[in-house]
């Protein structure tokens, strides 16, 4: 049942935007694959805890409106039967590890209490996962249908649009995403999270063609626009294509993101890096790490941030103290938004909107107490004040259909703010190969769009999948940051090699059906894709 907030004279609104995305990582050919843990960790640390918070707010009669992007790769993985089975097995391993930890720490009151805390937590999350039959997407869809969430889409494979040269290939990233969203959420998307907030001239035309009403940019994308928006980032602007752009509010973002001033750095919060996967002797932890003995994070972390000290000098984590601190920070965040709205409202002819976007994985994965912070914040906004209310971007546009007209400045978020993360000496070699593949895909689509044999059609659709997976911005980001570089390079080379072989076999009409079927089984994203999306 839709929860309606009582009418009240709010002076302004807050748009909380959580961007949920992971690269498409699925390796059924391996019994265990290290990078699949990215999904399992995100499910247990972020997506299940967020769903739990939202469902409890609904149950308690708390009004909230949150905007959440869910990228097509993430949605596909969350609904993939193979990965759902592995996610359930991962949760079972965590429960088993927590039970063993309770036995191991029985003589130590401090750490035994923490082991019990994790046992209770994992048991609760596994029960929720079982209750929804592993379908997190349906859980969030129901919250949207009931009027609490607004789920927006993302580029098909999080391809960084400014680096996609072929107009048809850029269009495909948006059109495929919109179609995929409709299949899983039963409606067309109203908004989109541009991958990495990457904007360049002409993107709004592609969005308008797909029926998308708004997108997000970083603050400088708006503030450096022409003409300069009269209301800064406190109101959206319209592009000439009629699609609205919402700019990130720097003040509210800084309170959460800043490494020096942000809440997650508080000494009471759980430390991310100290994990029993690295602390325990190998004979005790071996069943819960990589089969080859590679130590990894398990999710059982017994220490708090403490301060700028070495990991060996961290102090034990206190969940009760951390919960109190999250409540304090939620109150501080609300107070600051109240003051911000009061000041803005004095200088505007309409209610200001504060747009606060964050990576969803910040809440729970990196900042363990993040979901608790959101829970308390939503409750306090509902019960404790009448200055700020939660609102989605589409609601704001309905309330204020007239906005300033502006040409957005090319921009991105991330270090530098102008694409330097995704076009860098560490990763720029990707794009010459990507651009040739884009041009070739367009040529093939136009050649075969009128009619082609069934096997050729399957090969063309798989070529489109391989190109989309090649375009994922995640590979360039990983190469820039130097984290899992070997894996990122292997993915770029694998998708490029598969695309080139498909191209040759299609051109020569000598398609290896067995090899194609294996590709369709492994790289199975967008099962209903139509290669003709590249033909226009």
Residues designated as active site: 196, 359
In angstroms, the CA 54 to CA 324 distance is: 20
Determine how many CB atoms are found less than 10 A away from the CB of residue 313: 9
Among the listed residues 93, 65, 15, 129, the one whose alpha carbon sits nearest the alpha carbon of residue 382: 65
Instruction: Mark 28-39 as b/e (b = at least 16 C-beta within 10 Å).
Output: eeeeeebebbbb
Three-state secondary-structure class, residue 526: coil
Among the listed residues 468, 453, 449, the one whose alpha carbon sits nearest the alpha carbon of residue 526: 468
What does each C-alpha distance from 359 to 12, 22, 222, 362, 458 come to in angstroms? 24, 11, 20, 6, 35
- Beta-strand (E) ranges in 82-177? 149-154
Among the listed residues 273, 371, 288, 369, the one whose alpha carbon sits nearest the alpha carbon of residue 37: 288
Phi then psi for residue 257, to 5 deg, are: -80, -35
In angstroms, the CA 183 to CA 351 distance is: 35
Q: Are strands 244-247 and 191-193 parallel, antiparallel or unpaired?
A: unpaired
In angstroms, the CA 194 to CA 31 distance is: 34
In angstroms, the CA 429 to CA 284 distance is: 43
The length of the chain in residues reads 536
CB 480 within 8 A of CB 426: yes
In angstroms, the CA 291 to CA 273 distance is: 21
What does each C-alpha distance from 178 to 184, 186, 244, 471 come to in angstroms? 10, 11, 17, 17
Three-state secondary-structure class, residue 12: strand
In angstroms, the CA 343 to CA 381 distance is: 18
Dihedral sign from CA coordinates of 188, 191, 194, 196: negative
Three-state secondary-structure class, residue 367: strand
- Beta-strand (E) ranges in 12-126? 12-20, 66-70
- Beta-strand (E) ranges in 218-256? 237-238, 244-247
Three-state secondary-structure class, residue 474: helix
């Amino acid at each position: 049942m839709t929860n309606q907030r009582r009418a009240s004279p709010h002076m302004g609104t807050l748009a909380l935007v959580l961007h949920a995305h992971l690269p498409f990582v699925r390796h059924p050919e391996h019994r265990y694959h290290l990078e699949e843990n990215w999904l399992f960790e995100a499910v247990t640390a972020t997506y299940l805890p967020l769903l739990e918070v939202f469902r409890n707010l609904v149950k308690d009669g708390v009004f909230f409106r949150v905007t959440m992007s869910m990228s097509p790769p993430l949605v596909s993985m969350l609904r993939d039967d193979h990965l759902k089975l592995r996610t359930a097995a991962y949760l079972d391993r965590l429960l088993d590890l927590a039970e063993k930890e309770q036995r191991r720490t029985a003589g130590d009151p401090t750490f035994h209490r923490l082991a019990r805390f994790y046992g209770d937590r994992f048991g609760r999350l596994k029960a929720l996962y079982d209750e929804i039959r592993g379908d997190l997407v349906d859980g969030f869809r129901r919250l949207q249908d009931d009027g609490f969430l607004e789920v927006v889409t993302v580029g098909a494979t999080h391809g960084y649009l400014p680096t996609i040269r072929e107009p048809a290939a850029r269009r495909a990233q948006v059109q495929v995403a919109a179609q995929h969203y409709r299949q899983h959420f039963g409606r067309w998307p109203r908004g989109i999270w541009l991958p990495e907030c990457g904007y360049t001239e002409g993107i709004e035309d592609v969005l308008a063609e797909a029926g998308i009403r708004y997108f997000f940019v970083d603050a400088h994308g708006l503030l450096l626009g022409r003409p300069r928006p009269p209301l800064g980032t406190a109101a959206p602007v319209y592009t000439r294509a009629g699609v609205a752009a919402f700019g990130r509010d720097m003040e509210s973002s800084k309170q959460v993101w800043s490494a020096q001033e942000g809440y997650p750095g508080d000494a009471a919060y759980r430390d991310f890096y100290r994990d029993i996967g690295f602390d325990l002797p190998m004979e005790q932890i071996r069943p819960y790490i990589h089969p080859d003995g590679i130590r990894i994070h398990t999710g059982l972390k017994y220490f708090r941030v403490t301060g700028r000290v070495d990991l060996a000098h961290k102090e034990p984590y206190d969940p009760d103290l951390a919960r109190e601190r999250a409540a304090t920070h939620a109150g501080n965040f609300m107070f600051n938004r109240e003051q911000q709205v009061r000041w803005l409202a004095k200088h505007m002819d309409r209610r200001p909107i504060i747009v606060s976007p964050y990576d969803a994985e910040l809440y729970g994965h990196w900042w363990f107490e993040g979901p608790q912070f959101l829970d308390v914040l939503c409750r306090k906004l509902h019960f404790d004040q009448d200055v700020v209310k939660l609102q989605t971007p589409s609601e704001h546009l309905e309330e204020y259909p007239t906005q300033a007209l502006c040409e957005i400045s090319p921009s991105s978020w991330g270090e530098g703010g102008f694409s330097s993360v995704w076009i860098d000496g560490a990763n720029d070699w990707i794009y010459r190969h990507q651009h040739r593949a884009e041009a070739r895909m367009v040529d093939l689509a136009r050649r075969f769009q009128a009619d082609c044999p069934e096997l050729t059609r399957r090969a063309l659709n798989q070529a489109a999948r391989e190109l989309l997976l090649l375009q994922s911005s995640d590979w360039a980001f990983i190469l820039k940051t130097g984290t899992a570089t070997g894996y990122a390079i292997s993915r770029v080379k694998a998708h490029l090699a598969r695309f080139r072989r498909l191209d040759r076999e299609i051109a020569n009409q000598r398609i290896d059906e067995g090899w194609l079927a294996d590709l369709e089984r492994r790289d199975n994203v967008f099962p209903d894709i139509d290669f003709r999306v590249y033909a226009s």
